């Protein structure tokens, strides 16, 4: 069940808890031991995910800044070395795991049980107390999100992604000259600041809680509070320079956006 939960340790704990429950239960009347055990393990996983989600929602305070990472390359490079090839391949798996972690517990369980373990929607429905049709809808919704993550993986490792990551790192570090190098001389930001120097002065030392993300498939920066997106910083990039920076904070528009958080640099995976 490592695909349902966050990792191997959580999956091992879930299996141990399931065996403990089996040991306490009267299994003499169970006609399908395999199916019954699948149900027990799945419900333990569901409880674990719901408890983790609840802890996340109860957390308070601003998100911590991302860990320091090596300076991202912002210019096109030639043939990638073997390490870069491996990092690019790994980014697909990371994007998928990020999306799985964003699904609701019921969506994640329905998707993994059906698409990975071929459990019927009737059985899944009984596990999560939903109808088979509702279970099918949950799995379908999750599948679309996962497929979208796979398609977005190209954007996740694009040159634009590296430029946005480098801009955030320079902004957090207050590196005025690094910001100037990334900005077009005529760059415009939030409708008020015009010219590279004005934009760099505004962002130097800021964006401490902003996180690198894909927003509707495009690299951007996102600020959240208590798990809710509060602002999105969008970048227009031409060549290797940022020409425009816009901030979206309208709650209705933000709710319609598809946000996938990313590590600040592949080497941080």
Q: What is the per-residue pLDDT across 41-89, written as a single tens digit (0 to 9) for each?
A: 888 877 777 776 555 444 433 333 433 333 333 333 334 445 444 444 4
Determine the Cα–Cα distance for residues 234 and 221; give it in Å rounded to an integer.
7
Main-chain phi, psi angles of 186, to 5 degrees: -105, 25
Identify the pLDDT of residue 60. 37
- The mean pLDDT value for 118-125 works out to 90
Identify the pLDDT of residue 52. 63
Identify the pLDDT of residue 90. 46
Residue pair 223/211 in contact (Cβ under 8 Å)? The answer is yes
- The mean pLDDT value for 100-116 works out to 82
Determine the Cα–Cα distance for residues 233 and 34; give it in Å rounded to an integer.
49
Q: Looking at residue 7, what DSSP letter applies?
A: S
| pLDDT value at 153 more than 70 | no
Instruction: Locate all alpha helices (DSSP H) within the chain, ordered by sequence.
Output: 8-24, 33-58, 82-102, 105-115, 121-128, 132-156, 159-173, 176-182, 196-203, 251-255
Of the candidates 62, 48, 57, 53, the one whose C-alpha atom is nearest the C-alpha of residue 15 is: 48
| Residue 192 token pair | 């008020």
Identify the pLDDT of residue 100. 66
Q: Report CA torsion sign: 54, 93, 253, 106.
A: negative
Which tens digits make up the pLDDT trace of 192-223? 899 999 999 999 999 888 999 888 878 899 99
The top-scoring range by mean pLDDT among 18-27, 84-93, 252-261 is 252-261
Identify the pLDDT of residue 48. 78
- The mean pLDDT value for 14-18 works out to 75
Determine the Cα–Cα distance for residues 239 and 244; give it in Å rounded to an integer.
13
Which residue has better confidence, 104 or 122? 122
| pLDDT value at 151 more than 70 | no
What SS3 class is residue 231? strand
Identify the pLDDT of residue 149. 63
Tell me the average pLDDT of the chain. 76
Residue pair 200/176 in contact (Cβ under 8 Å)? The answer is yes
Determine the Cα–Cα distance for residues 231 and 256; give it in Å rounded to an integer.
13
Determine the Cα–Cα distance for residues 201 and 58; give it in Å rounded to an integer.
36
Identify the pLDDT of residue 87. 44
Of the candidates 170, 232, 229, the one whose C-alpha atom is nearest the C-alpha of residue 201 is: 170
Identify the pLDDT of residue 234. 94
């Amino acid at each position: 069940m490592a695909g349902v939960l966050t990792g191997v340790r959580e999956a091992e704990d879930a299996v141990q808890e399931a065996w403990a429950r089996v040991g306490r239960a009267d299994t003499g009347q169970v006609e399908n031991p395999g199916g019954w055990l699948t149900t027990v393990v799945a419900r333990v996983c569901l409880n674990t995910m719901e408890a983790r989600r609840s802890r996340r929602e109860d957390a308070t305070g601003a998100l911590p800044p991302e860990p320091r990472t090596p300076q991202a390359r912002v210019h096109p490079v030639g043939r990638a070395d073997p390490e870069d090839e491996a990092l690019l391949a790994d980014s697909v798996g990371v994007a998928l795991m990020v999306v799985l972690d964003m699904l609701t517990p019921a969506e994640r369980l329905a998707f993994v049980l059906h698409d990975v373990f071929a459990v019927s929607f009737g059985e899944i429905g009984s596990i999560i107390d939903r109808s088979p049709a509702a279970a099918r809808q949950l799995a379908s919704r999750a599948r679309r999100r996962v497929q979208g993550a796979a398609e977005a993986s190209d954007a996740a490792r694009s040159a634009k992604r590296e430029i946005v990551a480098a801009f955030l790192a320079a902004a957090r570090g207050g590196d005025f000259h690094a910001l100037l190098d990334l900005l077009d001389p005529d760059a415009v930001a939030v409708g008020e600041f015009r010219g590279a120097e004005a934009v760099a002065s505004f962002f130097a030392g800021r964006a401490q809680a902003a996180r690198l993300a894909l927003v509707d498939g495009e690299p951007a920066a996102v600020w959240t509070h208590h798990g809710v997106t509060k602002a999105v910083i969008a970048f227009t990039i031409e060549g290797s320079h940022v020409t425009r920076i816009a901030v979206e904070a309208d709650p209705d528009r933000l709710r319609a956006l598809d946000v996938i958080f990313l590590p600040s640099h592949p080497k941080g995976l």
